[in-house]
A and B are shown apart, each in its own frame.
Chain A
Amino acid sequence: MSSEMTSADYIKHHLTNWTYGKHPDGSWGFAHSTDEAKEMGFMAIHVDTMFWSIFLGVFFLWLFRKAAKQAEAGVPGKLQNFVESIVEFIDTSVRGSFSARNALVAPLSLTIFTWIFLMNFMDLVPVDWLPSLAAWIGQSFFGADPHHVYFKVVPTTDPNATFGMAFAVFFLVLYYSIKIKGIGGFTGELTLQPFQSKNKLVMLLFIPINFLLEFVSLIAKPISLALRLFGNMYAGEMIFILIALMFSAGLGMGIFGGFLQLGWAIFHILIVTLQAFIFMTLTIVYLEMAHHEH
């Protein structure tokens, strides 16, 4: 980290995405500061988030596609064994909690688990490496001010990424709810429970209350899904950044920080895997609920 930055600047720099968008004056371009990125509003895109997520996703699909092409019933190789054990793990999880027949759910779960795991895993790369590399490239090849080169490596610390996935899952939940239960069945599920009454007039009174309760629980699904992942990864990233701050506070603190970083990184391996698994499991459970009346 550069010495002329204050700690607050350092943290802020690390938490700002590399943004390409529409400036308030109507022209399109990269944002040169956090404020500028904020002013762009909705018409902006986080280049680093998109780059890393697509890069990791393509890597995952390339690796698994490679194994899939070689896949045969004979004795499996190392890569095939590795890929197959993951696929089997996902398949067992899906079979355990999803009872309906749907060819989409298992590949969806595999994609969610592996992709999120890889994106989360970027958290374990020391926080300054890739941003420093990006700053160096920006400075030496594009003549940019290194302080204005923003590079956030972990896509899942960007709420856009987690909400993007959660909304896609939510869309699937709505789609299958309506497809399986029909519009009538789905609205019935939203309005006719949990409060029920034999008396028609009382029931009519219950409908808006039921709808309010059920709608909130429905909307809570994608939001909790996205925020849980984002919150965990963001907090983890934040702690890595705070530990990294210790490296500029003298030798003793630096060594202490090194141990802290090691410890937190080891603990984070658990969080990284767990969050990917939770996202996947909840997706399966939500889709299972969409397939069955309750």
Chain B
Amino acid sequence: MNINLTLIGQSITFIIFVWFCMKFVWPPIMGALHERQKKIADGLAAAERGQHEQELAEKAAAEKLHEAKEQAGEILAQAQKRAGEIVDEAKNDARTEGERLVAAAQSEIEQEVNRAKEALRKQVASIAVAGASKVLEREVNESAHGDILDKLVAEI
């Protein structure tokens, strides 16, 4: 409990410790702390920026998607319309073709019928001639009575 030289010794020790702390301990630690603070702040700012960019990109992507959907809808509608048109065209073609075929067939049938009629007429004429000649029991001169025969054929 005596005050003695220890007092001075302690003062000197204290001053040396403070000096050392001030020169070699405090500045590097504070420097590192400040640097880290800055680093963290930068990192946070970058993260925020990134988030913002992501939001923008998302918005752009949504817009693109929307556009694409619209376009696809349009294309689909066009395609459907075109398909309808093609089907209609095909139907028309088919109908006209069918009609044409039917008409051709009918005309052919008519021709056949005419031809058959003609053949029949001719056969009937010859039969009639044969019949007549039988009836008359003599040969009829075809060239002399041709006009009568023709008149007869036309009547049948």
Chain A interface residues (CB < 8 Å from chain B): 15, 17, 19, 21, 37-38, 40-46, 49-50, 53-54, 57, 60-61, 64-65, 67-69, 71-74, 76, 80, 83-84, 87-88, 91, 103-104, 106-108, 110-111, 115, 155, 158-161, 163-165, 167-168
Question: Nearest Cβ in chain B — how far from A42, in angstroms?
Answer: 5
Q: Which 6 residue pairs are nearest across A and B when measured between Cβ atoms?
A: A164-B10, A71-B32, A160-B6, A73-B35, A107-B22, A107-B26
Question: Nearest Cβ in chain A — how far from B4, in angstroms?
Answer: 4
Contacts A49-B10, A73-B36, A91-B30 hold; do A61 and B25 have CB atoms under 8 A apart?
A: yes
A209 to B58, CA, bound (A): 79
Contacts A53-B13, A73-B39 hold; do A107 and B25 have CB atoms under 8 A apart?
A: yes
Question: Nearest Cβ in chain B — how far from A65, in angstroms?
Answer: 6
A74 to B7, CA, bound (A): 43
The reply on B21 being an interface residue by CB < 8 A is: yes
Question: Nearest Cβ in chain A — how far from B41, in angstroms?
Answer: 12
Interface of A is mostly: helix
Q: Does A21 lie within 8 Å of B4, measured CB to CB?
A: yes
Q: Which of B1-53 contact A (CB under 8 A)?
A: 1-11, 13-15, 17-18, 20-22, 24-26, 28-33, 35-36, 38-39
Question: Nearest Cβ in chain B — how far from A21, in angstroms?
Answer: 7
Q: 28 A-B Cβ contacts within 8 A? A: A19-B2, A21-B4, A41-B2, A43-B5, A44-B5, A57-B17, A61-B17, A61-B20, A61-B24, A61-B25, A67-B29, A71-B31, A72-B32, A73-B35, A84-B33, A87-B26, A104-B22, A108-B21, A110-B26, A115-B14, A155-B10, A161-B6, A164-B9, A164-B13, A165-B10, A165-B11, A165-B14, A167-B7
A88 to B22, CA, bound (A): 15
Question: Nearest Cβ in chain A — how far from B45, in angstroms?
Answer: 16
Question: Nearest Cβ in chain B — how far from A78, in angstroms?
Answer: 15
Q: Does B26 lie within 8 Å of A106, measured CB to CB?
A: yes
Question: Nearest Cβ in chain A — how far from B101, in angstroms?
Answer: 90
Residues of chain B within 8 A (CB-CB) of A167 are 7, 11
Contacts A37-B2, A73-B35, A88-B33 hold; do A65 and B24 have CB atoms under 8 A apart?
A: yes
Which residue in B3, B5, B14, B25 is a CB contact (below 8 Å) of A68?
A: B25
Residues of chain B within 8 A (CB-CB) of A155 are 10
A114 to B31, CA, bound (A): 20
Question: Nearest Cβ in chain B — how far from A246, in angstroms?
Answer: 24
Residues of chain B within 8 A (CB-CB) of A21 are 4-5
Q: Does B7 lie within 8 Å of A68, measured CB to CB?
A: no
Which residue in B6, B11, B18 is a CB contact (below 8 Å) of A45?
A: B6
A50 to B10, CA, bound (A): 7
Q: Does B4 lie within 8 Å of A87, measured CB to CB?
A: no
Q: Does B11 lie within 8 Å of A110, measured CB to CB?
A: no
Contacts A49-B10, A54-B13, A110-B26 hold; do A160 and B3 have CB atoms under 8 A apart?
A: yes
Which residue in A41, A68, A91 is a CB contact (below 8 Å) of B28?
A: A68
Which residue in A43, A67, A68, A165 is a CB contact (below 8 Å) of B4?
A: A43
Contacts beyond the supplied A15-B1, A103-B22: 19 A-B pairs with Cβ under 8 Å: A40-B2, A46-B4, A57-B17, A67-B29, A68-B28, A71-B33, A73-B38, A73-B39, A80-B32, A87-B26, A87-B29, A110-B25, A115-B17, A160-B3, A160-B9, A161-B10, A163-B7, A164-B6, A168-B11
Q: Which of B76-117 contact A (CB under 8 A)?
A: none
A71 to B34, CA, bound (A): 11
A60 to B14, CA, bound (A): 12
Residues of chain B within 8 A (CB-CB) of A68 are 24-26, 28-29
